[in-house]
Structure 1
Amino acid sequence: MKKVNLLIYSIIAAFFLLFSSCNQQTSSEENRYLFSYFKGNGESGLHLAWSEDGLIWHELNNGQPILEPTAGEDKLMRDPCIIQGPDGRYHMVWTVSWNERGIGYAWSEDLINWSEQQYIPVMEHEPNARNTWAPEITYDEKNDKFMIYWATTITGLYPETFSELEDGLNHRMYYVTTKDFKEFSETKLLYEPGFSVIDSHIVPHNGEFIMFLKDETIEPPAKSLHVATSKNLTGPYSQPLVQITGDYWAEGPTSLYIDGTWIVYFDKYIEWTMGAVKSTDLENWEEISHKISFPSEVRHGTALKIEKEVLNNLKQQLN
């Protein structure tokens, strides 16, 4: 009798594992991946690429821009970051200028037709702010709000990390929160790790928030990507836990989490090519730059998971 019960239990357990595996595979097969990016100085606007596996990327719209920039005085669309909100709407922010004290914002239902572009004056209150670079958005499900965050140099702050090189830029990360992209909180400091920091990219994972960031130190040069964590979206975040990139200059990290593996993409901007690393534990990282392929002229942006039907519509409308 015990042998029969054991056999039945084994069959049930095997069926459960098979069912779970099939469900996971089906879920993975239903997803596709989108990469938003810019070319040149960002004057042409928003560009999109797609991938089935997160490694090989194909341009959409024959490499032509999906959306031309109108926000801000300089009308650039650098560092485009797109996320999908809980209502299904896609929200995008971007760098409008090298020197202006605000960022661009627009939204879309289908990634093709976009709302009127807005200029959000997130640092206009600070007369010594020199820039607002590489904004990103992360959604906080627990508090039902979005956080927009970016890098700014404020002249005179943090003299201990000031250098006259690279035009004296000395960044820290700042943020605002919003529920509707119409009303915003006061601008606050998000991250001050004791060095010039830029290009933060934050994603929720297992009850905490993972920040990928760039150490922008120029003397001596760092220019490397790192990981920090926090229990809350608005911080405080830990000191950088591990360096994830190799012996090259990297910027603009963005990530995908695919079947238990992190892939972080970045711009090897001195070499004018894209790079990537992967990890299953956020501690041990493997260089996979040789395994990825991006369209020509890609500058850094944001990777996101989309449904296969959404991608099919994009391909039908744009190719």
Structure 2
Amino acid sequence: MRLIRRHIIECTILLISFLITSCASNEAIYLFTSFREPATEGLYLAYSTDAYHWEDLEGPYLKPQVGESGIMRDPSIIKGKDDTYHMVWTTDWRGGTGFGYANSKDLINWSEQQYIPVMKNESDVVNVWAPEVFYDDINDNYIIIWASTIPFRFEKGEEEEENNHRMYFTTTKDFKTFSETKLFFDPGFSVIDCALLKRGDEDYVLILKDNTRPMRNLKVAFSKSPLGPFTNTSEPFSDYLSEGPTVLQKDREWLIYFDNYGAKNYQAVRTSDFKNFENISNQIKLPDGHKHGTITTISRSVLDGLLDKKDKL
């Protein structure tokens, strides 16, 4: 009887140990891409297990090698179906016709960087800003959106001709061949820094920056398709002088992080319906100098590799 009892205890301990390990391995680990001003050093990273408190992984993990300005701003990253991470970024503040692209399995060893000249057919284009990559699971391809100004293309409104942005897009299945560039979003005013998310079947939300001079804050718009049209643009949910939104889903709620650059801090709001937004900035913690990128998820093994790399930086 004593041996049986001992065997039961040992089996119980093994089961508890297995459950603890299993839960740990399935724990969500969020990764936040970033850069540091003046954006010449390259990719910086931070991670979190609770989606609120972010630990600095430092950097740079990838130095800019494409574009004429030697910068890497607004890094947007997504994990593909084959567990490959695809990243795009801004390469030039002014004068460029494209954005940068590279991929990695572990966020440490990267492919050769490419320059994707998506606006090469627009001779007067002023810029290509903040490319954002989104996976369209219906059509099994990636949608990349960005902001560009083409002077005298749209009604100017309050903006100078070289600051009157609209959103454009291209699609790709392999990041080798890209569709023809087309207009993605024209709300009738200058718009930049859009982030696209899917919250249900035929239910998409676009987080956008109204870049008109009196606004320069964040709003949302809605569509039944990832390519729009997006309508019912909301009132602002962020302060004046805020930009660079990115979003993650935690449980039944969405957390939207953004750069509140007017006050020189980072903020976040929480929402379940994209109509009511609760400011949770007093609940978040980010590394000093963190600038806007995007959030994805990583495995424990990828995190372990990054932590090891960080110790060697």
- One fold, TM greater than 0.5? yes
User: Letter of the aligned partner of 2:263 in structure 1?
Assistant: E
1:243 aligns with 2:239: no
Indicate conservation of the 8 Å contact 1:122/1:187, yes or no.
yes
Aligned pair partner of 2:117 in 121, 136, 143: 121
Q: CA deviation at 1:30?
A: 1.5
Do residues 58 (structure 1) and 55 (structure 2) align?
yes
**Residue 194 to residue 239, structure 1, CA distance change in 2 (3 Å):** farther
Partner of 1:138: 134
Distance 1:157 1:210 in 2: 26
User: Equivalences for 1:157-306 in 2 at 5 Å?
Assistant: 157-164=153-160, 168-207=162-201, 208-218=203-213, 221-245=214-238, 247-306=239-298
- Which residue number in structure 2 is paired with residue 33 of structure 1? 30
Supply the distance in 1 between the matched residues of 2:25 and 2:274 (Cα, whole angstroms). 21
Deviation at 1:310, TM superposition (A): 2.4
What is the aligned residue count?
Answer: 289
Q: How much has 1:43 moved relative to structure 2?
A: 0.6
3-state secondary structure, aligned to 2:301: helix
Post-superposition CA distance 1:277-315 (Å, at most 9, x none): 001121110011121111111111111122333222321
Aligned to 1:43: 40
Instruction: Report the Cα distance in structure 2 between the residues aligned to 1:162 and 1:224, rounded to whole angstroms.
Output: 15
In structure 1, the residue matched to 2:16 is none
Deviation sequence 1:242-279 (CA, Å, 0-9, x none): 4321x332100000100111100000112221110001
1:68 aligns with 2:70: no
The corresponding residue for 2:149 is 153
Tell me if the contact between 1:152 and 1:172 (Cα under 8 Å) persists in the aligned partners: yes
Q: Which amino acid counterpart does residue 232 of structure 1 have in structure 2?
A: S
CA distance in 2, matches of 1:189, 1:273: 32
Q: Helix, strand or coil: the match of 1:115?
A: coil
Alignment match, 1:14: none
What are the superposed Cα offsets for residues 142-172 of structure 1, whole Å, 9 maximum, x if unpaired?
11111111000001122342423xx840100
Q: Which secondary structure does the structure 2 equivalent of 1:86 belong to?
A: coil
Once residues 288 and 25 of structure 2 are traced to their aligned partners in structure 1, the CA distance between those partners, rounded to angstroms, is 27
**CA RMSD, Structure 1 to Structure 2 (Å):** 1.8
Segments of structure 1 that go 5 or more residues without pairing to the other structure are 1-21
The more displaced of 171-180 and 29-38 is 29-38
Q: Give the whole-Å Cα distance in 2 for the aligned partners of 1:283 and 1:273.
A: 24
2:15 aligns with none
1:162 touches 1:169 (CA, 8 Å); kept in 2?
A: no
Q: Is the 8 A contact 2:78 2:87 kept in 1?
A: yes
Residues 96 and 176 of structure 1, relative CA distance in 2, 3 Å threshold: same
Pick aligned residue for 1:312 from 293, 304, 311: 304
CA shift, 1:29, in A, is 5.5
Q: Identity of aligned pairs, percent? A: 46
Pairing partner for 1:79 from 51, 74, 77: 74
TM-score (norm 2): 0.88
User: What TM-score comes out, normalization by structure 1 length?
Assistant: 0.86
Distance 2:67 2:305 in 1: 31
